Amino acid sequence: MSAANVAALDCGSNSTRLLVSSPDGETLAREMTITRLSQGVDASGRLTDEALERSYETLRRYREVMDRFDVRRGLLVATSAVRDASNGQDFLDMATTLTGVEARLLSGHEEATFSYEGATADLSHDGAPLAILDIGGGSTELATRTEGGLVGYSMQLGCVRVTERALGKEAVTPERAEQTWAMIGEQLDAAFRAEPHLETLVGAVRLVGLAGTVATLAQLTTGVGEYDRALVHHRTIGIDEVVQWREQLGALSPAERLTLPGMVPGREDVLHAGLFILQAVMERLEVAELLTSENDILDGIAASLC
């Protein structure tokens, strides 16, 4: 095994993930663990001891995976939860110690850039402009590339944040739904004000969805319980399916959602919130379908290292 293998690590609001790649871009290992780093951050402004320990334990295990592939170079990135936390730097310091690689807090624009590069590298850029939608736990990135460079915006929306602030984990009530649509609408309005170029995408964009909400939705639409990358990567999902699954999950308790083939344990209490976000963005952009991508921010980071 070559010492030139590299590792990309993403400490997101809901999950902590690892990608180990060879110098020529071959995937050697890909891991995902639900750690819910953002638990309670919205209310307290701090990463909790419980969330930190879950994440640290996962990073210790990922270092063992990296050792098996003789990884000596990599980059760990942290996003929304760490940006919002007063003890975020403490987390980054410990993450560097545990993994032996640089730990960096990304800005929303950097997050969108890595996500765009990772998700679109294997797609044709001919025809309609490509835009990526990355629904995370604490934030949602919408980005596209123009002649002047990448245009992106990070909204204070994510499946965990929306669940904690507005929607709740249990079956959705009309009042909760109204609060949720209002919260999402405010953030979308802010995005379109901040980046006027987004208006040019309305009705004319090819939308690519990535990260946990979209990946789990893709798995649910297959009706297959076991993860199969070939089934969910570059799967086309219509907005009618998004609405159907949002309504179906919204009528169930988390325990009931967990019985559905394809539901990922650890997402059953927040996935419905992610689908509210997904539906709202698709409607705002006037797109009838979404192309899913299992390539994401990790692939963008790994490509930059290679």
Beta-carbon contacts of 119 under 8 Å, excluding residues fewer than 6 positions away, are 132, 134, 208, 210, 293, 295, 296, 299, 300
CATH of span 123-298? 3.30.420.150
- For residue 14, what pLDDT is reported? 84
Q: Which two tokens stand for residue 238?
A: 């219509």
For residue 33 the two structure tokens come to 């663990």
Residue 216 has φ and ψ, to the nearest 5°, of -70, -40
Q: Which CATH superfamily is domain 6-105 in?
A: ATPase, nucleotide binding domain (3.30.420.40)
For residues 101 and 187, what is the distance between their CA atoms, to the nearest angstrom?
34
pLDDT by 10s per residue, the chain, length 306: 445 899 999 998 888 999 999 988 889 999 999 998 888 787 788 999 999 999 999 999 999 999 999 999 999 999 878 888 899 999 999 999 999 999 999 887 888 889 999 999 888 777 788 999 999 888 898 999 888 788 888 898 999 899 989 999 999 999 999 999 999 999 999 999 999 889 989 999 999 999 889 999 999 999 888 888 888 899 999 999 999 999 999 999 999 999 999 998 989 999 999 999 999 999 999 999 999 998 999 999 999 888
Residue 40's alpha-carbon distances to 2, 153, 155, 211, in angstroms, are: 41, 24, 19, 21
From residue 251, alpha-carbon distances to 168, 210, 262, 263, 295 in Å are 12, 25, 18, 15, 31
pLDDT of residue 83: 84
Domain borders along the chain are: 6-105, 123-298
Q: What is the pLDDT of residue 240?
A: 96
pTM of the model: 0.85
Do 6-105 and 123-298 share a fold?
A: yes
Distance CA 224, CA 231 (A): 9
